[in-house]
Amino acid sequence: MTEQTSKPWAGRFTEPTDAFVEAFTASVGFDQRLFRHDIAGSKAHAQMLAHIGVLTDDECQKILLGLDQVQTEIESGQFQWSVSLEDVHMNVEARLTALIGDAGKKLHTGRSRNDQVATDIRLYLRDEIDAIQVELTRLQTALIDLAEREADAIMPGFTHLQVAQPVTFGHHMLAWLEMLLRDGQRLADCRKRMNIMPLGSAALAGTSYPIDREFTAKLLGFEGVTENSLDAVSDRDFAIEFCAAASLLMTHLSRFSEELILWASAQFDFVDIPDSFCTGSSIMPQKKNPDVPELVRGKTGRVNGHLISLLTLMKGQPLAYNKDNQEDKEPLFDVIDTLRGSLKVYADMMATLTINRDKMEQAALQGFSTATDLADYLVRKGMPFRDAHEVVGKAVRLGVDTNRDLAEMSLDELQQFSTVIDSDVFEVLTLQGSVAARNHIGGTAPDQVKAAAARARHRLQTIH
């Protein structure tokens, strides 16, 4: 049987396509990655056509077996992709027809590439979101494990990147976890909205065949069918929404990366990123560079860029389908690959990250991180907060001048600032006392961190 290479739409044309235009308009170079979902969509469509009597059972059977054969050829690398057949849809269909003859030509009854591609992308993205959620859950679990293990490790908490108050490392990890839990919810939400089937919209207006859309939707695992054919073939808001969720997720990873990069530096030395996630320098033998977080921070730029590409791609389009939409794929695919890769490497890295408790605690001892605790202590003894603020300010001044922390001063020295200060003050001036005092839901006390980590583990199971 000879391969079909002439264009299915060639009928109304008298001249062949210009060679450069052919290459310029083709998408097969990048949309071939949709082949599995394209074939799954075609199989469901064929079964529906047989169900309503447009195809005979024999024709349907031939199509299903033929499509299996096409899939095997593609998966084994034998398939000959043809640029003159433009895209994945026409390549698959042409090969099917070459394999099974006339039945193959009947597959496209009652549909168009416009509803076909809108369906394929949804099917594909749905699977990719599921794979992304698996990696995200691995990362979230690694953060919960780390938070539980280091629930009472003390580090300086920062505002303006200046030492503010002591916090526990576990609490800090759970802050990142909260962001990532919301990211997971956003992806799940986006998947739900996307999981509605456009097939049956045909080119733009629907089809005159008595199609059973619910039948096809059920076969493909869609939750319902789209209500409006013009909308269904034209909007790519579901892809934009996914990219927006991905941009936020990458932005969270980028901020997290910034901290890891700082913390891994000799100046901080709070964490050790395992060698397997770092590289060296070709000229400076001492270097161990935190490449993984740096690259994730860097890759956030391209994901944000793709979001803007898709928004811009959409903004000028009248209804319904326009060829512009072919440009949705490369940005979307790159967002998927970048996000999946970043989450995978992050999950692996966070599962093996170790911390330097001493270094963190030393850093928390600098910068008068328990100054607020002293003020709160004075308030508990009856002093108005504004007065307490001033008293502590003076004590800090002495500390700066004599290069000592508040906890290193004698009771006599502290009492010169206020006579309400007693020997019990030293309980609140310690780092342990400071964090333990913040003992409420959302606070940094080690007991709260352990409880929050346990709750997070439970939330992780019920969130999607």
Contact positions vs ligand ARG (CB under 6 A) = 27, 31, 87, 113-114, 117, 323, 325-326
Main-chain dihedrals φ then ψ at residue 3, nearest 5 degrees: -70, 140
Question: Whose Cβ is closer to ligand ARG: residue 28's or residue 196's?
Answer: 28
The closest alpha carbon to 196, from 171, 179, 219, 221, belongs to 221
**Residue indicated by tokens 């901020």:** 255
Q: Provide the β-strand partners of residue 197.
A: 225
**Residue from 45, 265, 276, 281 carrying the catalytic annotation:** 281
Distances in Å between the alpha carbon of 458 and those of 21, 32, 140, 141, 181?
A: 56, 40, 12, 11, 12
Q: How far is the CB of 201 from ligand ARG (least distance, A)?
A: 12
Question: Whose Cβ is closer to ligand ARG: residue 114's or residue 165's?
Answer: 114
Q: How far is the CB of 121 from ligand ARG (least distance, A)?
A: 8
Distance between CA 103 and CA 110 in Å, rounded? 14
What is the dihedral sign for C-alpha 49, 51, 55, 60? positive
Q: What is the 3-state secondary structure (H, E, C) of 287-328?
A: CCECHHHHHHHHHHHHHHHHHHHHHHHHHCCCCCCCHHHHHH
Between 35-51 and 213-220, two packed helices, what is the crossing angle to 10 degrees?
Answer: 140
What is the DSSP secondary-structure string of 365-392?
HTTTTTHHHHHHHHHHTT--HHHHHHHH
Question: Whose Cβ is closer to ligand ARG: residue 62's or residue 329's?
Answer: 329
Question: Whose Cβ is closer to ligand ARG: residue 323's or residue 386's?
Answer: 323
Can you give the length of the chain in residues? 464
**Residue from 76, 160, 276, 458 carrying the catalytic annotation:** 160
Distances in Å between the alpha carbon of 60 and those of 44, 71, 103, 397?
A: 10, 16, 8, 85
Question: Where do the H-state alpha helices sit in 52-81?
Answer: 57-75
Question: Whose Cβ is closer to ligand ARG: residue 27's or residue 201's?
Answer: 27
Q: Is 434 a catalytic residue?
A: no
Cis amide leading into 320 (omega within 30)? yes
Question: Whose Cβ is closer to ligand ARG: residue 254's or residue 326's?
Answer: 326
User: Does residue 195 contact residue 168 with C-beta atoms inside 8 Å?
Assistant: no
Question: Whose Cβ is closer to ligand ARG: residue 106's or residue 113's?
Answer: 113
Q: How far is the CB of 120 from ligand ARG (least distance, A)?
A: 9
Q: Counting Cβ atoms within 10 Å, is residue 243 exposed (0-12), middle (13-18) or buried (19+)?
A: buried
Q: How far is the CB of 321 from ligand ARG (least distance, A)?
A: 6
Q: How far is the CB of 113 from ligand ARG (least distance, A)?
A: 4
Q: Is 440 a catalytic residue?
A: no
Question: Whose Cβ is closer to ligand ARG: residue 326's or residue 444's?
Answer: 326
N-terminal to C-terminal alpha carbon distance within the chain: 49
Q: How far is the CB of 366 from ligand ARG (least distance, A)?
A: 58
Q: How far is the CB of 5 from ligand ARG (least distance, A)?
A: 17
∠ CA 330-121-306, nearest 5°, is: 30
User: Does residue 393 contact residue 418 with C-beta atoms inside 8 Å?
Assistant: no
User: Does residue 87 contact residue 121 with C-beta atoms inside 8 Å?
Assistant: no
Main-chain dihedrals φ then ψ at residue 279, nearest 5 degrees: -130, 170
Q: How far is the CB of 452 from ligand ARG (least distance, A)?
A: 46
Mind telling me the catalytic residues? 160, 281
